[in-house]
Chain A
C-alpha cells in the first residue's frame, strides 16, 4: 500500500550521530559527498568508504534500512555501472565489433557504483538520524545569510516543515478515499495506462479538495496563535554545537586530509 513508501524516514535514537547538531550534519554530509567524488584512486576511495561505513555503524540503526534505501535506486546504480564499462581509455581488454572494454572503463564502472552507493547511504544517515523539524531548523539557520538578498528564508523553512509534516496526513487521506471509492466499485488495478489514470480522478479530486481544507484550517490555527513570520522569533530548542560536533568535525577533517594526501601521492585511476 501507499503507506509502505519509505520517505527518508526519521528513526529516533540516542547514538552519537543522533546527538550531533543538525547544522553540522548537513555541512559534513556535503563535505563527505564532495570528497567521495574527489577521491581518484582505490586507496582514497577505500578510506572515504570505510569512514562512511564507520559513521553508519555509529548511528546504531540496523544496516538493513540502509540497504533498503539502496534498493530503491538499484536500477540506476546497475545501469550507470554498465554504461561506464564502455567509456574510458587505457589498455583494451576485450574487443567485439564496436564494443571495446578498457581497463579505464572497468575502473570507471567500479568507481561510479561505489560512489553512488556510498553517497546514498551517507545521505540516509542525515535523514535517518535527524527529525524533520530539526532538519528544517538547521536549513533555515544555514540559509540565513541569504536574507541579505531579501530571500524569505524563514518562510521557505516553514513551508518545508509544513510539507514534511503533512506527508503522512495525505498518505492516510489517500488511503481512506481510495477505500471509499473502491467500495463503490472503483478499479485501480486493471486496464491500460489511460484507464488507470482515469480511475484515479475520483481519488485526486477529493484529495485536492481536502488539501485546501487542511491548508485553510492550518492557516486559521496559526493566525489564532498570532503567528506572524520569522522576525524576532525565538526558538524553544536552541541549537548548540557540542563536544560531539567538535569530535565529528575532527574525525572528518582527518579523513578528508587522508583523501587529499592519498590523491596527491598515488596515481589516479579514473579519467
Chain B
C-alpha cells in the first residue's frame, strides 16, 4: 500500500472572488513507503501548495489525500495527528525557532504530541545527532547559533517527531557549498537508517539527481511527469520547455555523445561520469 496517495487534488485560492487563482488542478500520484521523491518545478508551479496539502495545512478544494490509506480530512479534528505523521520542514526553517534553548525548541514537536519526558529526551538527542548538531549546542539559545546550525536545529525539530513522511521544502537554499553537501548526506543517511519516506523539494537539479529515487515534475499547477530519476532527466527538451533543466553533468555527457564520443548519457552524478569516462578511455 502506498504511504501517500493524491487523488484529483485541486486547490483554488479565493474561490468566488475577483482574486480567484487555481494553484493546483487535478493532480494524481502515489508514493510508496520508503521512497525518496524529488519534487521540482519552476517558481509558482504549485510545489509549495502541493506539499502543504499533503500534511493538511491546506484543505483541497476538490480531491483527497490518503495517508497510510486514510483520508486525512476524514476527521478534521484529528488533523494534528496527520501533521505529526507527515512532518514538514518549510523554506528557511531557521526563522521559526523561538525557545530559550535549542533543546527546548527541538522538543516542541514531541511535546505537542504528548510524549513522555524520557521519550522526548531520546528523540531530541537522536534528531540532533542525525542533523549533526553538537551536544553542547543543545543548551545554547537558538539565536546564538550560526545560520547553518540554526537550519539544522529547525530540521531536527521536525525529525524529532519521527514522521512517517518527511517533507523538506528547499532545505539547502542559502547554505554554503560545504554545508549543503553535508546536510544532503545527513538527510540521505537519515533516510537509510529510518527507512521512512522523504519528499524533497529543490531547485537544484544536481541535489535532486544525487538523492532521489523518483521525481515529480510540476508545471503550472499540474503534474507533468512522475518517473524514475533516470527517465525524467532523459527528457531534457521537455524539462527545458517548462523552465527546468537537467543536471550539468548529464548535459556534458549528452554533448560528448553528440560529438561522437560513445558514452552512456544516463549519468546523474559526477562520480558516475568519472567512472564512465575512465571506462571509455580504457576501452
Binding site for B on A (CB under 8 A): 176-177, 179-187, 201-202, 205-206, 209-210
Contact = CB atoms under 8 A, between A and B. Distances in A.
Contacts of B221: none
A187 B80 contact: yes
30 contacts: A179-B52, A179-B57, A180-B90, A180-B93, A180-B96, A181-B96, A182-B57, A182-B83, A183-B83, A183-B87, A183-B88, A183-B90, A183-B158, A184-B112, A184-B158, A185-B80, A185-B83, A185-B108, A185-B109, A185-B112, A185-B113, A185-B161, A186-B112, A201-B98, A202-B96, A202-B108, A205-B98, A206-B95, A206-B97, A209-B95
A55 B59 CA distance: 42
B271 to A, nearest CB: 35
Interface in B224-252: none
Nearest to A185: B112
B157 interface: yes
A176 B93 CA distance: 10
Interface in B120-169: 143, 157-158, 161
B84 interface: yes
* A-B interface, 10 closest residue pairs, ranked by CB to CB distance from nearest: A185-B112, A205-B98, A180-B96, A184-B109, A183-B88, A202-B98, A180-B90, A179-B57, A206-B98, A206-B96
Contacts of A182: 57, 83
A182 B161 CA distance: 13
Interface string B75-117: 0000010011001101001011110000000001100110000
Q: Give the interface residue-count category, chain B.
A: 20 to 34
Most buried by A among B93, B108, B112: B112
Nearest to B81: A185
A183 B55 CA distance: 8
Contact of A183 (B57, B95, B98, B113): B57
Nearest to A180: B96
Given A185-B113, A206-B98, A176 B108 contact: no
A209 B55 CA distance: 27
Nearest to A187: B80
Most buried by A among B88, B95, B157: B95
B83 A177 contact: no
B283 to A, nearest CB: 52
Contacts of B98: 201-202, 205-206
Nearest to B160: A184
A180 B90 CA distance: 6
A177 B84 contact: no
Given A179-B90, A202-B98, A210-B95, 15 more contacts: A176-B90, A177-B96, A180-B96, A183-B55, A183-B88, A183-B158, A184-B108, A184-B112, A185-B108, A185-B109, A185-B113, A187-B80, A202-B108, A206-B97, A209-B95
A185 B158 CA distance: 10
Most buried by B among A181, A183, A210: A183
Contacts of A180: 88, 90, 93, 95-96
Contacts of B158: 183-184
Contacts of A177: 95-96
Nearest to B87: A183
A180 B97 CA distance: 10
Contacts of B84: 185
Contacts of B143: 209
Most buried by B among A181, A182, A205, A210: A182
Contacts of B55: 183
A201 B143 CA distance: 16
A210 B97 CA distance: 11
